[in-house]
């Protein structure tokens, strides 16, 4: 398999975590978002949406959208499972994951931040305030959801799930913008439990070959 991705992309990071948790070998193909490599004509053959990540399967098929890619990996390589077997539990995990992937991340990804600055002429301080506001508000909602669930080491239970694949990249990016994580005990406990695992460490941006930090 090949993973076309960018080291700081939250969505790419999610897929790297899933691949590492499942112990699946893959070729890392960097696509530099800041340099606009995802907008070059040649990349459209890999991702018609011109987004990262994009997974090329062993059969040469291309898949986009991190959540779809992770569920594909979970269905084709079911151990260790990233979604519980029980339908209600699966829905709970998907809801947690989508609270980050669908509610927090779309407001704060790179193309949105660029649009704020370039098209709407928002200054850096206002852009940062925007980022911090939506991440903090989203994580507070995430914490409230966790508080309704039985206690476990991770977001849902005692093994990593799709929800953890989404949480960890969001915390990493939030740290870059100095988002406050105070008062989020369940959220941060799950993050710390994840980062104690080698799979999450191998997937993090500083371990990527295109890391520029």
Average pLDDT, the chain: 96
Residues 70 and 119 both lie in one domain: no
CA atoms within 13 A on the CB side of 162: 29
Residues 185 and 104 both lie in one domain: yes
Residues 195 and 92 both lie in one domain: yes
Buried b (16+ CB within 10 A) or exposed e, 191-213: bebbeebebbeebbbeebeeeee
Residues 92 and 160 both lie in one domain: yes
Residues 190 and 103 both lie in one domain: yes
The answer to whether residue 212 sits within a structural domain is: no
The answer to whether residue 30 sits within a structural domain is: yes
Task: Say which CATH number the domain at 44 has.
Answer: 3.40.30.10
Give the domain range for residue 121: 87-200
Got the DSSP string for 79-138? SS-SS-SSHHHHHHHHHHHHIIIIIIGGGTSHHHHHHHHHTS---HHHHHHHHHHHHHHH
What is the pLDDT averaged over residues 29-56? 94
Tokens at 56, concatenated: 């090329």
Q: Which helix (H) or strand (E) element contains residue 28?
A: strand 27-30
Residues 118 and 59 both lie in one domain: no
- In the chain, % helix, strand, coil (3-state, to 5) comes to 55, 5, 35
Give the per-residue pLDDT at 213: 45
Task: Say which CATH number the domain at 125 has.
Answer: 1.20.1050.10
What is the pLDDT averaged over residues 86-114? 96
What is the pLDDT averaged over residues 156-184? 97
Condensed to tens digits (0 to 9), the pLDDT of residues 114-128 reads 999 999 999 999 999
pLDDT band at 5 (very low <50, low <70, confident <90, very high): very high
What is the pLDDT averaged over residues 71-86? 98
The number of folded domains in the chain is 2
What is the pLDDT averaged over residues 5-18? 97
What is the pLDDT averaged over residues 64-79? 98
The answer to whether residue 213 sits within a structural domain is: no
**What are the backbone dihedrals phi and psi of residue 39, each rounded to the nearest 5 degrees, phi first?**
-100, 0
What is the pLDDT averaged over residues 129-154? 97
The answer to whether residue 76 sits within a structural domain is: yes
What is the pLDDT averaged over residues 79-88? 98
Residues 66 and 113 both lie in one domain: no
Say how far apart CA 169 and CA 17 lie, in whole Å. Answer: 9
What is the pLDDT averaged over residues 71-79? 98
Say how far apart CA 160 and CA 86 lie, in whole Å. Answer: 16
Q: Report the percent of the chain where pLDDT is more than 90.
A: 97
Residues 158 and 184 both lie in one domain: yes
Q: Report the percent of the chain where pLDDT is more than 70.
A: 100
Residues 129 and 76 both lie in one domain: no
Give the per-residue pLDDT at 185: 98
């Amino acid at each position: 398999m090949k993973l076309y991705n960018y080291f700081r992309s939250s969505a790419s990071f999610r897929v790297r975590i899933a691949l590492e948790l499942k112990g699946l070998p893959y070729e890392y193909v960097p696509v530099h978002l800041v340099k606009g490599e995802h907008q070059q004509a040649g990349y459209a053959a890999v991702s018609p949406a011109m987004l990262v990540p994009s997974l090329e399967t062993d059969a040469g098929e291309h898949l986009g959208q991190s959540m779809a890619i992770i569920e594909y990996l979970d269905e084709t390589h079911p151990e260790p499972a990233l979604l519980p077997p029980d339908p209600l539990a699966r829905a709970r995990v998907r809801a947690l994951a989508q609270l980050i992937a669908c509610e927090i991340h779309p407001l704060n990804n790179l193309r949105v931040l660029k649009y704020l600055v370039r098209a709407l002429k928002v200054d850096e301080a206002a852009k940062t305030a925007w980022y911090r506001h939506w991440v903090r508000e989203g994580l507070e909602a995430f914490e409230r959801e966790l508080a309704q669930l039985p206690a476990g080491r991770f977001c849902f239970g005692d093994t990593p799930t799709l929800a953890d694949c989404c949480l960890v990249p969001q915390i990493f990016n939030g740290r870059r913008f100095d988002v406050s994580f105070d008062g989020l005990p369940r959220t941060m406990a799950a993050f710390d439990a994840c980062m104690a695992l080698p799979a999450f460490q191998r997937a993090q941006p500083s371990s990527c070959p295109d890391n520029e930090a």
